[in-house]
Amino acid sequence: MRSQLVYEAGLKIENRFLLATTAMQATKKLHISSTRTEDTVNRVFAEVANGTRVHGNLPEVTPPPTIDELLITPAA
């Protein structure tokens, strides 16, 4: 059952690491100590799949600066 929830949530948040971070943060906020953690995690994945708990957009990735030719000088 959870694999289906993870799959559906993965359709909303395609980045697996962002999905895991979102699930962990939401579980920490929503978990009640008298309930099972598994139930809270399932509820979080269901909410992400429905679009309720969607993390913010990822920042735009800037390309690294170009590497100029390496100037190798012999050791003196």
Q: Return the higher-pLDDT residue of 17 and 53.
A: 17
> Mind listing the pLDDT tens digit for each residue in 43-55?
999 998 988 766 6
pLDDT the model gives residue 55? 61
Tell me the C-alpha distance between 22 and 5, whole Å.
14
Tokens of 10: 């993965």
pLDDT the model gives residue 65? 72
Q: What are phi and psi of 48, to 5 degrees?
A: -65, -40
Whether residue 42 contacts residue 5, with contact meaning beta carbons closer than 8 Å, is answered with: yes
Could you tell me the residue ranges of all domains in the chain? 2-50
Q: What is the mean pLDDT of the chain?
A: 82
Which residues, in sequence order, are CB contacts of 54 under 8 Å at separation 6+? 12, 13, 22, 48
